[in-house]
Structure 1
């Protein structure tokens, strides 16, 4: 049985854009499917977005910390420090923003890490100031689910993370394509990007939770105003969504791993069908919502995304670069621009600080390494 599953996984990942190392797939081969801000919520409302210049800039200011193991989710705390999830270890660690010191808060019970599955996205409760809750998306022995945990900084290191309280379960799991990004939107609702777990047909099945963007209340119920009655499904026809971000006008964008032709950045419209597996990239069938731009899978394999300075910034795993996508509303205003190509290896997560700086996290230790280093780190970068 184990051998058969392994062969199946290899066949599924061959030739597809992935989240893992050098070959396509999600967490362990190339790259799949990010979060808009520290907690995954929308950026603080700036002046009405203006069309940015065609060319931007990226400056690496410093390395905040290094020596991370299989890092996946990143959530800034109100005090400026950072929380990081380890996909394979199932732990959440606090990073001191000023010194880079790492303090393990605890281990999330129930995490079953394999392939691209494990402890994935994390986000802070919208009421974090009063409830001190951390939300996490993770893979168990039977499914992918979302739970929330109390963070008690008064307890000893390693014991500061409370037991997970599952608020939503039943998302299909697989060796590949587990999605995993969660983010609270400007409406206070919880959004989750899921994958079709290698079972393509799930993406078009509106009764399935796989291959979707879900919209939930903080308690895990289908959010009011969702396009399908009594359903958490917000959009469908996705292959593997790992990037979620909002612009100042509260428009949602999502990144998505392609198979072996086109990775995508999509503008999200409630109830729309994004085409997988019937189409990949831009097509001519009005039934499917076309991406606003697309990349060959060797150049992207996108995971996290963030909004800053009039553009979406997209972290590439297999592509090993940071993409800038300047926006004019929900369209591109100029050609995407690549930065840091090959300099830091696989880029997993990018998070806005609310201004012109971003946190950028690498993810090499669970892949096949990079020519430069297999040491994972968080960078502070300045963008324009």
Structure 2
């Protein structure tokens, strides 16, 4: 089945990849190339990680704390505690991103859920990072949909310098198909919160729609080809499973809730990969370093229900074509949420075992790194 691509800048996706044809095609023993090391423990659902310098990591904890690891040591006092944060369900302090010009302007961006009247909403805020405190708060966008479930909210700057924000359907699935609604979307904004003039729908922050709950985004290195991970139905709003890896195009309609799993509909884009039973895909990363050579340009994402890290090999000559996929060996630490690349060429990942759905292990939650052997 062909997938209709709506952006003339991006190559066409030739056909949906069939899991049964791809599974376990990675033959080599990938664990021989790396070792896994503990970075920090006794955390609470570390959701997103960035590096402001080789020796300084910032990360969010879902209960509202922005934490620092400096020179390999966890700083006891949070950089900031967001008192406004609501974290009763899946929501909380979530996405974290650095401005593309961070070295000069010191701007960081965070997303979090907050109560508004009798409802829950999500906002994205910008601060100046002054090493020991945050100043100059600016609301980039607020009033985004949230609920105790399906709240998004991954934020990341693309190669075009624009800020991309994922939103969940917040339980109002039908609104994912409404273009002037912010439910079930991927948004695209300028760094100051204004709407770019080249967005697909004039004056509208929506970049793509028809999403259920996307929680991972990244771009194939050197291109504007955007990959996204998305949670499929949980059983109460459709047959279980149907988790997705999507290739996101400008103005694309990804079908939810009209279609899911391997269903198709004219004018709606089918997933590049579909997973049933569910694996609950979280953060996504294209690995850019040469440190672990066989991982170069591979796509990785955390699995919450699937418990591990999935490695996806993409055709370097045709980056919208997926060749194979397999979970990494020896990454058996429970639910994995964040997956990101450090300036040292290591892959950093976080567990999410204290989120109410995992089996809590001694010292959870934790941040680990995968480095070259």
Q: Of residues 124, 128, 153 in structure 2, which corresponds to 1:150?
A: 128
Q: Of residues 172, 181, 193 in structure 1, which corresponds to 2:166?
A: 193
Residue in structure 1 matched with residue 334 of structure 2 by the alignment: 345
Report if aligned partners of 2:45, 2:351 keep a CA contact under 8 Å in 1.
no
Residue in structure 2 matched with residue 360 of structure 1 by the alignment: 349
188-197 or 168-177: bigger deviation: 168-177
Residue in structure 2 matched with residue 305 of structure 1 by the alignment: 284
Q: How far is 1:82 from its partner?
A: 1.1
Looking at structure 1, the residues matched to 352 and 361 of structure 2 have their Cα atoms a distance apart, in angstroms, of 13
Q: How far is 1:354 from its partner?
A: 6.1
Q: Of residues 216, 236, 255 in structure 1, which corresponds to 2:189?
A: 216
Higher RCO (C-alpha 8 Å, min separation 6): 1
TM-score w.r.t. length of structure 1: 0.79
User: What SS does structure 2 have at the residue aligned with 1:162?
Assistant: strand
Residue in structure 2 matched with residue 290 of structure 1 by the alignment: 270
Q: How far is 1:301 from its partner?
A: 0.1
Q: How far is 1:338 from its partner?
A: 1.0
Looking at structure 1, the residues matched to 216 and 246 of structure 2 have their Cα atoms a distance apart, in angstroms, of 10
Q: How far is 1:96 from its partner?
A: 2.2
Residue in structure 1 matched with residue 228 of structure 2 by the alignment: 254
Q: How far is 1:302 from its partner?
A: 0.7
Kindly tell me: are residues 377 and 210 of structure 1, through their superposed partners in 2, closer, same or farther at Cα, counting changes over 3 Å? same
TM-score w.r.t. length of structure 2: 0.82
Report if aligned partners of 1:62, 1:380 keep a CA contact under 8 Å in 2.
yes
Question: Which stretches in structure 1 are left out of the alignment for 5+ residues?
Answer: 1-52
Question: Which stretches in structure 2 are left out of the alignment for 5+ residues?
Answer: 1-24, 234-239, 288-295
Q: Deviations over 1:151-171 (max 9, x none)?
A: 222x4xxxx123642111121
Looking at structure 2, the residues matched to 164 and 108 of structure 1 have their Cα atoms a distance apart, in angstroms, of 12
Q: Of residues 155, 170, 187 in structure 2, which corresponds to 1:182?
A: 155
Work out the number of aligned pairs and report it. 324
Q: Of residues 306, 320, 332 in structure 2, which corresponds to 1:330?
A: 320
Q: Of residues 97, 117, 139 in structure 1, which corresponds to 2:113?
A: 139
304-313 or 232-241: bigger deviation: 304-313
Looking at structure 1, the residues matched to 245 and 71 of structure 2 have their Cα atoms a distance apart, in angstroms, of 30
Residue in structure 2 matched with residue 78 of structure 1 by the alignment: 53
Report if aligned partners of 2:272, 2:322 keep a CA contact under 8 Å in 1.
yes
